[in-house]
Chain A
Amino acid sequence: MATATRNKKSARRRQLEAAINYPIDWLEERSGLVGAVRYFLFRKVPGDTGWWHTLGSATLTAFLVQAVTGVILAMYYKPDPQNAYQSIQHITNDLTLGWLVRGMHKWGASVFIILMFFHMARVFLFGAYKYPRELNWIIGVTLLAVGMLEGFTGYLLPWDQTAYWATVVGINLNGTAPFLGPFLADFLRGGAEIGNETLSRFYSLHMLLIPGLIFALIGLHLYLVIRLGVSSPPWSREAAGSDYGADEPGINGRSGLTQPVARSGWRRNGGDDA
């Protein structure tokens, strides 16, 4: 009797599993995406990575906040000089939680920039830009520059005095560059003066071109992180890829997370020539 119930149950269970697995297998067979996600989630990272290594994903989160709030703002914002200022007032003061969306976008921009600098500082101090990760450092620096451009183009959109005059000066400074400067300034202004054309241009750059570029660069950045692996903190006794600690393989049956990281100071193997 008991056996029969168990069999019956497991038969139902098998059916259920098959029902769940079918779409997953279907997707995997046709795209390989399930394998990719599985690889991403269950790839190995050095056992000694810690909170310092979260600055990159924190930056990504700040950017995603910008993307989401930006999409919502774009639904209500009117990119022409006659309506831009009023639409910003409307978003901030009238719309339900409009203040939150605009406030998050406004302050999220600063948080994004700060986190990019922190992340960069972490990578620099860890020496994580060294072989084979040079290319990813270059992509990161490009992201920083492009991110600041995103800040510059977004600053004009509220179309208030702060925005307008900061942009007047900013564009004129661009104009001082040799050779390309005046063309760049003319292109950004969309004419001789800052007005309709400028606002549309900045809106388009801020909404389409630059975020698209940032998304693409982040994709490349992450691809290289996953392909090349995360580097260990340089001071770690367990640092993957370093010679020290090799004699006493940290292999006491514990997983990386429960490994006692700093057991006896710096290094005891005298591998100073590492």
Chain B
Amino acid sequence: MATTEEWRRQYAKYKEDVKKRGKSFYPYAMFEDTVMSLVVVSVIIGLAAVWYFTSGADPKTCGSGDSCLLGPRYSDPADPATTNFVPRPDWYFYFLFYLLRIFKWPDSVILGTVGIPTILLIIAFLIPFIDRRMERRLTRRPVAVIGAILVVLSMGVLTYKGATAKEALASEVVQAVPTWAQRQGFANNAEAIAGAKIFASSGCTACHTYLGTGSSNQGAPDLSAEGTKGRNKQFFMQYIRDPSKFGNNVMPKFGFNDQQLSQLAAFLLASKGPK
């Protein structure tokens, strides 16, 4: 660790060196800056062109007629009532998004949503005060190099995992409803079966798991044996209507009507765990 005096001396020498043998910003450095900026603008234009010309104007044609190299132009209009949509953030939040699969709701979700990002940010802020050696050559900074490699690797892996996290498609999940009914023993309960179909087709399995189907995207609990917890139908209806009233600020409010709520509640009540 260098003393303040050493730092000052070194910086004074830096200024003297630059004055003596430095080059003028214009045109030398500015030339390189300009070339790089032109490259950046070209890349942005290129991405925009590839995105536009490989996607159709109709979001639904993406995947059939068009190659859609960079995704559709937009998805369907926002609709708070239909919930068979798997939430996905923009790619640079994938690492956060995946952290939420590691830290399960509700006990430790706070670590994933707030804890780790805050800690990372604080560490980033403090780097100049943690590393106070004068040494700048990488060969003499093993801790910094290993730290950098670990950060890049973990961010890369988390981003990749977040990007490729499998979400069950609603149409696939619905196929599983008869099996659920049989295994849970509610095959004769029409209301529960209707609720199971809503559950399967509304994207609930984007966050919840049920008899092995679905993914714990936001770390939401498994619901296979939800009916064994001594809750009544009324509780389930009210809970799904507005989870935040029960202290659950992660699960969104969905626009189900009373009949749907009742069916969902019947389904959950009939879920006694696999036989």
Assess whether B249 is interfacial by the CB under 8 Å rule.
yes
Residues A134 and B129 in contact in the complex (CB < 8 Å), given A121-B148, A181-B114, A234-B138: yes
- Find the A residue at minimum CB distance from B24: A42
A189 to chain B, nearest CB (A): 11
Residues of B within 8 A of A128 (CB): 136
Binds B, one of A11-19, A164-172, A204-212, A215-223: A164-172
Q: Which of A2-10, A27-35, A247-255 forms part of the interface with chain B?
A: A247-255
Q: Which of B7-53 contact A (CB under 8 A)?
A: 7, 10-11, 13-15, 17-26, 28-30, 32-33, 35-37, 39-41, 43-45, 47-49, 51-52
With an 8 A cutoff between CB atoms, is A235 at the interface? yes
> Given that A61-B41, A100-B52, A176-B113 are known contacts, is A45 also in contact with B250, CB under 8 Å in the complex?
no
The interface residues of chain B, by DSSP majority, are classed as helix
Q: Which single residue of chain A is at the shortest CB-CB distance from B121?
A: A145
User: Could you tell me if B51 and A173 are in contact, using CB atoms closer than 8 angstroms?
Assistant: no
In the complex, the 10 A-B pairs of residues with the closest C-beta atoms, listed nearest first: A103-B48, A241-B14, A127-B136, A44-B22, A256-B23, A164-B78, A234-B136, A175-B249, A134-B128, A240-B17
Nearest opposing residue in chain B for A93, CB measure: B57
Collect the chain B residues with CB atoms within 8 Å of residue A93's CB.
57, 73
Q: Is B231 an interface residue (CB 8 A)?
A: no
Is A96 an interface residue when CB atoms closer than 8 A count as contact? Answer: no
Of the residues A57, A151, A152, A242, contact of B37 by C-beta under 8 Å:
A57
Contact A257-B28, Cβ < 8 Å, known A164-B80, A169-B87, A172-B250 = yes
Interface of A is mostly: helix
Chain B proximity mask over A31-54: 1 for CB below 8 Å, otherwise 0: 000000000111111110111011
Q: Are B74 and A160 in contact (CB under 8 A)?
A: yes
A249 near B21 (CB under 8 angstroms)? yes
A249 neighbours in B (Cβ, 8 Å): 20-21
B143 at the binding interface (Cβ < 8 Å): no
* Chain B residue at minimal CB-CB distance from A148: B92
Q: With A46-B18, A85-B74, A104-B48 given, is the CB distance from A58 to B28 under 8 Å? A: no
Flag if A41 contacts B32 (CB, 8 Å). no
Q: CA of A243 to CA of B2 in the docked complex: distance in angstroms?
A: 15
- A160-B74, A173-B250 are known; give 14 further A-B pairs, CB within 8 A: A46-B17, A54-B37, A57-B36, A58-B39, A61-B41, A103-B52, A110-B92, A125-B144, A125-B145, A127-B136, A159-B78, A185-B249, A235-B137, A240-B22
What's the tally of chain B residues with a CB closer than 8 Å to chain A? 87
Whether A158 sits at the interface, judged by CB under 8 Å, is yes
* Contact of B178 with A by CB under 8 A: no
A211: min CB distance to chain B, Å: 17
* Residue A70 at the chain B interface, CB threshold 8 Å: no
Is A107 in contact with B88, judged by CB distance below 8 angstroms? no
A124 interface residue per 8 A CB criterion: yes
CA of A173 to CA of B43 in the docked complex: distance in angstroms?
33
Within 8 A of B (CB), among A88-110: 88-89, 92-93, 99-100, 102-104, 106-110
Bound Cα distance from A253 to B74, whole angstroms: 60
How many residues of chain A have a CB within 8 Å of chain B? 104
Contact B14 A229 (CB under 8 A): yes
Q: Is B172 an interface residue (CB 8 A)?
A: no
Q: How far is the CB of B97 from chain A (nearest CB, A)?
A: 8
B166 on interface, CB distance cutoff 8 Å: no
Whether B78 contacts A58 by the Cβ 8 Å rule is no
Q: Tell me if B113 and A166 are in contact (CB < 8 A).
A: no
- Is B165 located at the chain interface by the 8 A CB criterion? no
B127 near A42 with CB under 8 A, answer: no
Q: Give the residues from 60 to 113 in chain A that come closer than 8 angstroms, CB to CB, to chain B.
A: 61-62, 65, 81, 85, 88-89, 92-93, 99-100, 102-104, 106-111, 113
Q: Decide if B89 is an interface residue (CB 8 Å cutoff).
A: yes
Once bound together, how far apart are the Cα atoms of A173 and B10, in whole Å? Answer: 46
Report Cα–Cα, A274/B134, bound state, in Å.
Answer: 8
Query: Which residues of chain B are within 8 angstroms of A168 by Cβ–Cβ distance?
Result: 87, 252
In the complex, what residue of chain B is closest to A243 when comparing beta carbons? B13
Answer yes or no: A115 CB below 8 A from chain B CBs: yes
Selected from A45, A99, A129, A178, the residue in CB contact (under 8 A) with B25 is A45
Contact of B20 with A251 in the complex, beta carbons under 8 Å: yes
Q: Does the CB pair A92–B73 fall under 8 Å?
A: yes
Output the least CB separation between B130 and chain A (Å).
10
Identify which of residues 249-274 in chain A touch chain B, using a CB-to-CB cut-off of 8 Å: 249-251, 255-257, 259, 274
The contact sample of 11 A-B pairs, CB cut-off 8 A, is A45-B24, A45-B28, A47-B23, A51-B36, A61-B37, A61-B40, A129-B128, A177-B113, A229-B18, A234-B138, A256-B23
**Is A129 within 8 A of B23, CB to CB?**
no
Cβ contact within 8 Å between B36 and A58: yes
| Whole-angstrom distance between the Cβ of B79 and the nearest chain A Cβ | 7
Nearest chain A CB to B251 CB, angstrom units: 7
For residue B22, which residue of chain A has the nearest CB? A44
CA gap between A242 and B170 in the complex, in Å = 63
Is the pair B49, A103 in contact by a Cβ cutoff of 8 Å?
yes
